[in-house]
Amino acid sequence: MVIKPRLKGGLALTNHPIGAKEFVKRQIDYVKSQDKYKGPKKVLIIGSSSGYGLATRISLAFGAGAETIGVAFEKGIEGKRTGSAGWWNTIAFDEAAEKEGLKYKNFIGDAFSFEMKDDVIKFIKEEFGGKIDLLIYSLASGVRTDPIDGVTYRSALKSTTKEITGPTINFEKETMEETTMGVATPEEIKSTIKVMGGEDWKLWIEALDKGGVLSEGFKTVAYSYLGPKVTYGIYKEGTIGAAKRDLEHTSDVLNDFLKEKYNGEAYVSLSKALMTKASAVIPIFPLYAALLYKVMKEKGIHEGTIQQKHRLLTQMVYGNHPVIDDERRLRPDNWEMREDVQAEVEALWDKITPENFKEISDYAGAREEFMQLNGFDFDNVDYDADLDLEELAKLRP
C-alpha cells in the first residue's frame, strides 16, 4: 500500500512508518552530534512516543546512555488504518536503541490507570534493576478516567474569561481562518484540570514511592507551557492554562515530599511553543507558532523539539546553568519569551491577513514540521513506495 497524507483540520489521519524512522533518526543524529553528558541511568517517561516526551527519551538514551521505560497510548495497523505516529516513532526508537545496546521497554496503554502503574512498578522491580532516577511527565490527552471514582473527564480547549475570536492556520486547506473559542463552564474548567492538571503525576509518584522503586536523589520533571501576551486569552487564561497552574502547584507538593524522603526534586519546565500532535489542535496556536518560527529563525535562536529538550537536560536538569523563575519553574522557553522576540511577533500579528500569512509567517516551516510529525515531507523518503502492511503489522513497540 502507498500511504499518502490525509488531513482533517489540525489532525493527521494517516502516518508513514518509514517517515517516522527518519523523524526519529534525525533527532538521534542531532544528539549524537553533541557532547555526551552525565545524566540519569534509569528513566521512566510518561508520554514517550511523540513530541516532547519522545525527544526527551532520545536525548537521555543517546546522549546520556540511559535505560528508558516509555509509557504511551498508541495504536498499530488496524484494517485500513495505518497506525498512529507514536506507534511508529516508538518502533523506530526501539530499533535504534537495540543497535546501540541501550536497554528499553515500552508499555502501550492508559497511563492514568492503576493497572498501568502496577505493571510498570513490577517491571522496575523485577527487570529494571529495582529503582529509577528520573520520571518525565509529558502527557497530553483530551480524556482521563479517574481510577478512584471511575468517572471519565474530558478536557475542553476554552477560554475562562470571555469568548475569543482570532486567526489560526488550517493545515488541511492551507488557509488562514478565524476561530472562536467559547467560554468554559465551571464544570469544563474542573474537567480540564482533572485531565491535564497534576493529579495523575502525583498518583504516579505516590505509587512509585509505595513500590519502593525511587532512588536517592530521584528527580521528576513535568512539561508545561505559559506563553506570551498574544496567546494569553487561549492559553494562560484558558482552561488549559488553569490545568497547567494546577500541575505547577503539584510540583511544589512533590518537591517537598521528595526532598525530605529521597533528597530528591520535582520541577515543572515551561517549554517553547512547537508543532506537535497536541498543540496543532489548539485554536490560534499554529499561527502563533508560524510567526514565532519566523522571528526565532531570523535571529538564529530557533529550536526544534530535540534541541529544546536536549538543552533542558544538559544545561538545566543535569547541568550547571538552570534558568529558573521566581516560581521555581525551569524556563527553557526563555528565548521564545525574550522581549525583542515577542515585540516582533506582535508587530507581525498586527499585519497578518489571509492573503499574506504565507509570506509574513514561517508557514512553510510550521507546515513541514507538522507533516514530519506524521512521517511526511522528508526529502529522502520514497512516498511512492508500496509498503507491505502485513509485514509492518507484525512489528510491535
Could you list the residues that contact ligand NAI (CB under 6 A)?
Answer: 47-53, 71-74, 86, 110-112, 138-141, 223-225, 271, 273-274, 276-279
**Does 50 carry a binding-site annotation?**
yes
Cell of 245: 497552574
Interface with Na ion, residue 397, by CB under 5 A: no
Residue closer to ligand NAI, measured from CB, 171 or 260: 171
Question: Are 132 and 126 contacting, i.e. CB atoms less than 8 angstroms apart?
Answer: no
145 is in an annotated binding site: no
Strands 77-78 and 152-154: unpaired
Rounded to 5 degrees, φ, ψ at 195 are -80, -50
Residue with smallest beta-carbon separation from ligand NAI: 51
Residue 268: strand pairing partners: 222
C-alpha 59/C-alpha 240 separation (Å) is 27
* Residue 267 designated active-site: no
Q: Is 70 in the site for Na ion (CB under 5 A)?
A: no
Q: Is 222 annotated as a binding residue?
A: no
CB 52 → ligand NAI: shortest distance, Å?
Answer: 4
Nearest to 69 by CA among 38, 92, 46: 46
Residue of 17, 39, 47, 227 interacting with Na ion (CB under 5 A): 47
Q: Does 51 bind Na ion (CB under 5 A)?
A: yes
As a whole number of Å, the CA-based R_g of the chain is 20
Q: Name the catalytic one among 235, 267, 288, 318.
A: 235
Alpha helix (H) ranges present in the chain?
17-32, 51-64, 85-100, 114-127, 186-196, 199-210, 239-262, 285-298, 305-311, 339-351, 357-360, 363-373, 389-392
Nearer to ligand NAI, 129 or 338 (CB): 338
C-alpha–C-alpha distance, residues 143 and 112, integer Å: 10
User: Is the separation of the CB atoms in 266 and 258 below 8 Å?
Assistant: yes
CB of 140 to ligand NAI, least distance (A): 4
CB nearer ligand NAI, residue 223 or residue 378: 223
Q: Among Na ion, ligand NAI, none, what binds residue 88 when CB lies within 5 to 8 Å by partner kind?
A: none
Nearer to Na ion, 111 or 156 (CB): 111
C-alpha cell at 53: 516526551
Query: Smallest gap, in angstroms, from Cβ of residue 247 to ligand NAI?
Result: 8
Where is the binding site for NAD(+), in residues? 47-52, 73-74, 110-111, 139-140, 244, 274-276
Q: Which residues are catalytic, by number?
A: 235
Residue numbers of the site for Na ion (CB under 5 A)? 47, 51-53, 138
